[in-house]
Amino acid sequence: MADSPSSDGGVAIGIDVGTQGARVIVAERGGRVLASARRTWPLQDDDEDKREQDPEEWWRAVVSCLREVTSLLGRVSVGAVSVAATSGTLVLADDRMRPVRPAMMWNDKRAKLEVDIVNNELREEISTAFQPGFTLPKALWVARHEPEIWRAARHVLTAGDWLLCRLTGLAPVSDFTNVFKSGYDLRNNRWPEGLDRLGLPVDRFPRVVASGTDIGPLSPQVVADTGLSSETRVVAGITDATAAQIASGAVSVGDWVSTIGTGLSIKGVTLEPLLAPSAVGLYNHRHWSSGWIPTATSHCGADSIGRRFPGEDLDDLSRSAARYDMSSVIVLPLSTVGEYFPFRVPEARGFEIGNPRDRADLFRGYLEGIAFVERMAMNAMTAAGAEVDGPQRTMGGGAANPEWLRIRASVLRRPVTRPRETSSAFGAAIIALAGDPVAISPLAREIVTDDAVADPSPRSIELYEERFASFQEALTERGYLEREP
């Protein structure tokens, strides 16, 4: 049964569609979660560069989750719905919003050659340094390699854009965070003319608004399929990592959050964009109301753990790993080929150095490896001029592991805090509750509360300083980092 809502008014739904599943959260304005539902799907066994999924499978999971939470809510009225989804995923749809091919996921890296073409064509209009995982190079890849499919496509969308269309039945609408990787000019708030020169007509791309902007009501079909009210509004969503940022409370200048999901995303808030040659792979989203959101994503995340320890009890491994002060193995936890932040090496591969004492020791090496990449990422942010104030907030599935929190605090040499609600779906619910871009940050500061705090251990700090140096030396030996003079 769902909890009864309080009398302070306002109930909204946040939808998160990630790499491995969909989650729906119903929250009230005071921050309490009234109901939630989750559906998962198996990951396809693609090759090293190819990562595809069926968008219709996402939609079936979302509808199933919405039906479940509405049955739990009973007569509770839901005022608004918003969506968070993977950043960089490409969905090509026809004029009836049907996908014309499987979605190319955020970690699909087939568009390596197209990155150079896009960067050369658009460099005079926008400062974005495109990567193979971005939406726009993928669209060009389809146009060049699958011309018949490209001709059938009417809309170039991200995962979140497509889901909003399915909710409303209206023309595509996107937001500042989703369209960044699609080539949008965030400084001048327009689609660049260079898209037409690339053979990617501007009219195939969505209208752009700030996250939290009211788009319209749910479509009659969605009302019938889910049990939600025809009065429920749909508001513009956001990328999943930025939704996690909102859910963490990292909404003020100097706040930073690391989200550990399939990959590792680092986000903060600054008054101006961060620009620095040394910060490879660093880019800036436009804030939902004012300022900028420096952002970087590493492919070193929990995906490497899932692929290295399939079917194993990770909780038991974590408890066993706590016996050791430090792993005997140095790990670069990269499960795909290529890394773009905190270092740019398209041919990079993960590695394990050393002989583990047991599986728990090896597992700890993976936890430490991701923490080392997180530290390198934060070093790159501060080198680019970022202000870092207070603890490192953390979100995503990796935030649930208490031993990992302690490891990360000692590696980062700062406290690591985990909020009570650690999902991107909760961030999407905050956006829906706010109902206005300028109201998002004040509401997040008001309702986000911490659930756990891990402080660095002086002894572990000392141990990890030496191990972090060894980790960087291993990267340098492989040519992933330049050796300092």
Do 90 and 42 touch, CB atoms closer than 8 A? Answer: no
Give the end of a domain, one of 236, 260, 292: 236
pLDDT at 308 over 80: yes
Can you give the residue range of the structural domain that contains 90? 11-236
In a domain, 241, yes or no: no
**Pair 172, 280 in one domain:** no
Task: Indicate if 182 and 207 belong to the same structural domain.
Answer: yes
Domain identity same for 149 and 289: no
Residue 440 falls within a domain, yes or no?
no
Query: Are 67 and 151 in the same domain?
Result: yes
Residue 239's nearest CA partner among 164, 146, 167, 188 is: 164
Please indicate, yes or no, if residue 437 is contained in any of the structural domains. Answer: no
| Together in a domain, 220 and 264 | no
The pLDDT score that the predictor gives to residue 485 is 53
Counting residues of the chain whose pLDDT is more than 90, the rounded percentage is 83
C-alpha to C-alpha distance for 407 and 362, rounded to whole angstroms: 14
β-pairing, 256-260 with 264-268? antiparallel
Domain count, the chain: 2
Q: Where are the beta strands (DSSP E) in 261-355?
A: 264-268, 283-286, 292-298, 330-332, 351-353
Residue that wins the pLDDT comparison between 340 and 311:
311
Least confident of 74-78, 309-313, 474-478: 74-78
Domain assignment present for 391: yes
- Please indicate, yes or no, whether residues 262 and 224 belong to a single structural domain of this protein: no
Residue 5 pLDDT greater than 50, yes or no = no
pLDDT category at 277 given cuts 50, 70, 90 is: low
What CATH number does residue 276 fall under?
Answer: 3.30.420.40
Task: Quote the pLDDT of residue 206.
Answer: 98
Could you tell me which of 210, 253, 243 has the C-alpha nearest to residue 87? 243
pLDDT (mean) for 344-362: 96
3 part of a folded domain: no
In-domain check, residue 311: yes
Residues 277 and 180 in one domain: no
Q: Check whether residue 370 and residue 261 sit in a common domain.
A: yes
Q: Which of 212, 236, 260 is at the close of a domain? A: 236
Mean pLDDT of 80-92: 97
Task: Tell me which of 34-43, 269-278, 444-453 is least confident.
Answer: 269-278
The answer on pLDDT for 117 being more than 80 is: yes
With respect to residue 435, please indicate whether it lies within any of the assigned structural domains. Answer: no
Q: Considering the entire predicted model, what is its pTM?
A: 0.83
Per-residue DSSP letters for 62-80?
A: HHHHHHHHHHHHTTPPP-E
**Do residue 457 and residue 349 come from a single domain?**
yes
State which of 204, 236, 268 marks the end of a domain: 236
The confidence band for 2, taking pLDDT boundaries of 50, 70 and 90, is: very low
Residue 137 lies in a domain: yes
The lowest-confidence range among 47-61, 125-139, 277-291, 382-396 is 277-291
Does pLDDT of 378 surpass 50?
A: yes
Q: Are residues 228 and 260 in the same domain?
A: no
Q: Do residues 224 and 144 share a domain?
A: yes
Q: Are residues 195 and 260 in the same domain?
A: no
Residues 6+ away with beta carbon under 8 Å from 175: 160, 208, 209, 210, 211, 213, 236, 237, 238, 288
- SS3 at position 334: coil
